[in-house]
């Protein structure tokens, strides 16, 4: 039965060699089965026949039924125009062709009924219709056309050869009515009835040729569900395998270090959310199964202290811990921050980045291998092969979006007992992405800011308001506050962007002259040492204004900074804007974010600016971001298979995704090997997908 599905496409009625070649080359359709899964991009409602007497202004595409009475050809400046008169007994309508006149005159017969489909327009005070689609009025066509008609994508090359949406429709029509066609189910019956879904065969019929709009919706939902279900099975299997394969490190107790720090060194009371999250992490780390947890917390929610407390638990259990940051600046800041928090405690902590001198590096690696070094902070340099730990127990990845599920699962496989992994992110991730890109992770959320924080006020200003902005800056500076001014820097326009940054720096320096004001500048082209020096001056409060590119985007923490000015804000993405804004509002004072833009703003830019003005909630902002940009632009999606989704759309299908995830998780919990007879369809489908994937990897 499945052999029939694998029949090469050239054997389908209506497909000759030429069309078969086009289908393969242009649409990747090689077999009957491939054609079945070539879903239409939309349907046009052709359930209704209009009468010519009903025609009026502004009708959409409509359908008429009638006969042609006569044709006449007129010469035009270029080419010719063929006009036919069409009647259905209620009136006459002119049908116009500018091309293919010869073909039309040959094919259209008098005294024969046709179905016309097109958009009526008014020309010289009369209705006409240009280049409608014309089909014989017979039983087969009525059935095929007088319904929700599927529209299929075709390519330019196909169109040139008159191989259009309608041709594909006809092929599918032939295929779907073939008695030998059996479309196997791939979900357990129980699940289908529980979710109240269409059977697979029915859904595939209906997604091409739905009997009604409701049926189309049902079919689409069923097929989206299965798509997301198998994606979830794939993702969640990593989790199951991890749980089974690795007997994880067990941090049995909380010891001296943790307790001393908690009681004597903690500079503030933890928020309830911080406490809860630490309990969740602690639960993982003593479970005997490797932890893989995502810690989400909006900017400023206090993830660093959580990381530190977890690292202390590792050390209390005689393990080492490492913290990886995406940039040099961040790694440094973490290092200094943690070093300070740990002062007076017997913990050795070091910083390893690309800039560490080889002498320091050597010593560090020795201490790491001997075990005398407890905590290593750094950038990507930490995962180089040369870096060997004596007994690494906990890896914390901060602000990290760059690893997909598969990559991450490979990261620490070289260890016999893999360390616990905590991924921290301040870019709140829309639910759908949390369930997919990070779908194999458990999730903890810090959903509470430390007490006393005032929401940041966000204001949009045009260039014309710059002087007022300068005035405002002076007021804030006079209160002793510090200010960031951030310029965009994008690879494609790098040269211009650097010029703008320099110009901006100069005009700010003029408006805020020495000795009263001191202005720093930091950007990626500076020597790391200079950059660090300037950054450090600002952190220490030695300079008042920091002009920078987005190098300061993540993590940097200067509680005294209360104003963030973002230049050309229309050029930033939403999550970036939110990240930048998160650099202020870290102290007790009222903070401000000023979005400077040009006068002309596109619709999307307007939405972004407005969203920023209206909300400080990172989760809400991330949802809007996903809706605006789609998942393709969000980091991590490339590796996750999300972009191969045919029907499902992460922007809109989060409910189906949630259901699919629940079902997949339940099934894996009950029968991870799919050995029960009722789960056989799932097993067969997965092995088929795997075979497919192998064939493809060999081809490409």
Query: Which of residues 426 and 596 has its CB atom nearest to ligand ADP in the complex?
Result: 426
x/- track of binding to ligand ADP for residues 398-427 (CB under 6 A): ----------------------------x-
Query: Which of residues 271 and 379 has its CB atom nearest to ligand ADP in the complex?
Result: 271
CB of 560 to Mg ion, least distance (A): 17
Query: Which of residues 405 and 456 has its CB atom nearest to ligand ADP in the complex?
Result: 456
Scanning 230-238, 248-256, 296-304, 484-492 for contacts with ligand ADP by CB under 6 A, the matching segment is 296-304
State yes or no: residue 450 binds Mg ion (CB under 5 A): no
Q: Is residue 521 a contact partner of residue 530, using CB atoms and an 8 Å limit?
A: no
Helix axes 618-629, 603-614, angle to 10 degrees: 170
Scanning 216-224, 292-300, 464-472, 607-615 for contacts with ligand ADP by CB under 6 A, the matching segment is 292-300
The listed partner (Mg ion, ligand ADP, none) that binds 636, CB under 5 to 8 Å by sort, is none
State yes or no: residue 450 binds ligand ADP (CB under 6 A): yes
Output the CA–CA distances (angstroms, integers) from residue 179 to 1, 183, 636, in the order listed. Answer: 11, 11, 44
Output the CA–CA distances (angstroms, integers) from residue 450 to 301, 330, 423, 424, 688, in the order listed. Answer: 7, 21, 21, 18, 51
Name the closest residue to Mg ion (Cβ).
Answer: 555
Query: Which of residues 325 and 546 has its CB atom nearest to ligand ADP in the complex?
Result: 325
The listed partner (Mg ion, ligand ADP, none) that binds 302, CB under 5 to 8 Å by sort, is ligand ADP
| Tokens 């720096």, located at residue | 505
From 247, 258, 260, 302, select the one nearest 282 (Cα to Cα): 258
Q: Is residue 320 a contact partner of residue 373, using CB atoms and an 8 Å limit?
A: yes
In angstroms, the CA 414 to CA 243 distance is 16
Name the closest residue to ligand ADP (Cβ).
Answer: 302
Query: Which of residues 84 and 618 has its CB atom nearest to ligand ADP in the complex?
Result: 618
The listed partner (ligand ADP, Mg ion, none) that binds 608, CB under 5 to 8 Å by sort, is none
x/- track of binding to ligand ADP for residues 569-588 (CB under 6 A): -----------------x--
In angstroms, the CA 254 to CA 442 distance is 22
In angstroms, the CA 205 to CA 211 distance is 10
x/- track of binding to ligand ADP for residues 30-59 (CB under 6 A): ------------------------------
The listed partner (ligand ADP, Mg ion, none) that binds 300, CB under 5 to 8 Å by sort, is ligand ADP
- Which of 66, 118, 132, 297: binder of ligand ADP (CB under 6 A)? 297
The listed partner (ligand ADP, Mg ion, none) that binds 586, CB under 5 to 8 Å by sort, is ligand ADP
State yes or no: residue 271 binds ligand ADP (CB under 6 A): yes
- Which of 118, 120, 210, 300: binder of ligand ADP (CB under 6 A)? 300
Q: Which residues contact 1 (CB under 8 A, 6 or more apart)?
A: 182, 184
- Work out the end-to-end distance of the chain between its first and last CA atoms, rounded to an integer number of angstroms: 29
CB of 554 to Mg ion, least distance (A): 7
The listed partner (Mg ion, ligand ADP, none) that binds 297, CB under 5 to 8 Å by sort, is ligand ADP
- Which of 270, 383, 605, 686: binder of ligand ADP (CB under 6 A)? 270
- For residue 135, the cross-strand partners are 115
From 244, 363, 390, 376, select the one nearest 311 (Cα to Cα): 376
Buried-exposed string 264-289: b where 16+ CB fall within 10 A, e elsewhere: eeeeeebbebbebbbebbbebbbeeb
In angstroms, the CA 533 to CA 543 distance is 11
Scanning 15-23, 269-277, 492-500, 599-607 for contacts with ligand ADP by CB under 6 A, the matching segment is 269-277
Output the CA–CA distances (angstroms, integers) from residue 42 to 210, 216, 460, in the order listed. Answer: 11, 10, 39
Scanning 137-145, 240-248, 362-370, 555-563 for contacts with Mg ion by CB under 5 A, the matching segment is 555-563
State yes or no: residue 303 binds ligand ADP (CB under 6 A): yes
> Which helix or strand (DSSP H or E) is residue 54 part of?
none
In angstroms, the CA 415 to CA 387 distance is 12
What one-character DSSP code corresponds to residue 582? T
- For residue 83, the cross-strand partners are 72, 96
Q: Which residues contact 637 (CB under 8 A, 6 or more apart)?
A: 433, 436, 437, 631, 643
- For residue 548, the cross-strand partners are 486, 522
State yes or no: residue 555 binds Mg ion (CB under 5 A): yes
By CB under 5 A, the count of residues binding Mg ion is: 1
Which of positions 516-535 make contact with ligand ADP (CB under 6 A)?
none
What one-character DSSP code corresponds to residue 95? E
Residue 113: how many other CB atoms lie within 10 Å: 12
Residues that bind ligand ADP (CB under 6 A): 268-271, 274, 297, 299-305, 426, 450, 557, 559, 586
Q: Which residues here bind Mg ion, judged by CB under 5 A?
A: 555
């Amino acid at each position: 039965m499945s052999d029939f599905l694998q029949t090469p496409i050239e054997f389908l009625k209506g497909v000759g060699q030429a069309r078969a070649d086009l289908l393969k080359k242009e649409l990747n359709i090689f077999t009957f089965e491939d054609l079945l899964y070539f879903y239409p991009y939309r349907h046009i409602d052709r359930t209704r026949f209009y009468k010519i007497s009903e025609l009026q202004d502004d009708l959409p595409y409509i359908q008429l039924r009638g006969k042609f009475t006569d044709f006449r050809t007129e010469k035009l400046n270029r080419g010719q125009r063929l006009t036919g008169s069409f009647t259905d007994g209620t009136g006459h309508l002119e049908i116009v062709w500018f091309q293919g006149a010869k073909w039309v005159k040959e094919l259209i017969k008098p005294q024969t009924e046709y179905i016309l489909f097109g958009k009526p327009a008014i020309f010289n005070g009369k209705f006409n219709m240009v280049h409608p689609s014309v089909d014989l009025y017979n039983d087969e066509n009525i059935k095929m056309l007088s319904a929700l008609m599927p529209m299929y994508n075709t390519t330019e090359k196909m169109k040139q050869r008159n191989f259009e949406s309608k041709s594909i429709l006809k092929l599918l029509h032939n295929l779907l009515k073939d008695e030998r066609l059996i479309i196997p189910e791939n979900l357990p019956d129980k699940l289908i009835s529980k979710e109240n879904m269409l059977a697979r065969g029915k859904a595939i019929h209906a997604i091409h040729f739905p009997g009604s709009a409701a049926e189309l919706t049902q079919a689409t939902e069923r097929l989206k569900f299965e798509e997301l279900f198998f994606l979830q099975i794939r993702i969640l299997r990593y989790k199951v395998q991890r749980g089974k394969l690795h007997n994880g490190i067990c941090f049995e107790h909380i010891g001296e270090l943790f307790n001393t720090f908690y009681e004597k060194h903690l500079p503030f009371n933890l928020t309830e959310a911080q406490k809860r999250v630490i309990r969740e992490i602690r639960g993982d780390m003593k479970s005997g199964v490797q932890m893989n947890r995502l810690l989400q917390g909006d900017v400023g929610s206090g993830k660093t202290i959580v990381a530190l407390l977890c690292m202390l638990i590792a050390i209390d259990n005689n393990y080492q811990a490492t913290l990886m940051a995406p940039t040099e600046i961040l790694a440094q800041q973490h290092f200094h921050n943690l070093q300070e928090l740990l002062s007076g405690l017997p913990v050795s902590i070091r910083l390893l980045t690309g800039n560490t001198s080889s002498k320091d590096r050597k010593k560090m690696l020795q201490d790491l291998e001997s075990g005398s070094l407890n905590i290593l902070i750094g950038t990507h340099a930490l995962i180089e092969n040369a870096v060997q730990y004596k007994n690494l127990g906990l890896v914390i990845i901060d602000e990290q979006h760059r690893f997909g599920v598969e990559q991450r699962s490979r990261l620490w496989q070289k260890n016999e007992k893999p360390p616990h992994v905590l991924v921290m992110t301040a870019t709140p991730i829309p639910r759908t992405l949390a369930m997919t890109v990070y779908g194999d992770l458990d999730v903890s959320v810090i959903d509470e800011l430390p007490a006393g924080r005032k929401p940041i006020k966000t204001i949009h200003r045009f260039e014309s308001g710059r002087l007022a902005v300068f005035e405002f800056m002076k007021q804030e500076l006079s209160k002793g506050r510090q200010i960031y001014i951030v310029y965009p820097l994008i690879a494609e326009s790098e040269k211009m962007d650097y010029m703008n940054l320099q110009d901006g720096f100069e005009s700010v320096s003029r408006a805020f002259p020495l000795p009263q004001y001191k202005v720093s500048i930091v950007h990626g082209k500076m020597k790391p040492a200079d950059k660090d020096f300037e950054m450090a001056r600002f952190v220490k409060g030695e300079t008042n204004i920091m002009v920078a590119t987005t190098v300061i985007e993540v993590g940097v923490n200067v509680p005294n900074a209360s104003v963030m000015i973002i230049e050309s804000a229309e050029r930033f993405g939403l999550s970036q804007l939110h990240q930048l804004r998160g650099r202020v509002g870290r102290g007790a004072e009222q903070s401000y974010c000023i979005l400077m833009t040009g006068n002309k703003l596109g619709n999307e830019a307007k939405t972004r600016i407005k969203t920023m003005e209206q909300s400080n909630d990172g989760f809400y902002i991330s949802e809007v971001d996903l809706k605006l940009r789609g998942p393709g632009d969000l980091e991590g999606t490339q590796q996750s298979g999300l972009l191969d989704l045919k029907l499902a759309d992460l922007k809109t299908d989060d409910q189906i995704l949630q259901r699919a995830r629940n079902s997949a998780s339940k099934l894996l919990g009950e029968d991870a090997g799919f050995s029960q007879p009722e789960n056989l369809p799932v097993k067969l489908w997965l092995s088929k997908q795997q075979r497919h994937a192998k064939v493809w990897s060999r081809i490409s």
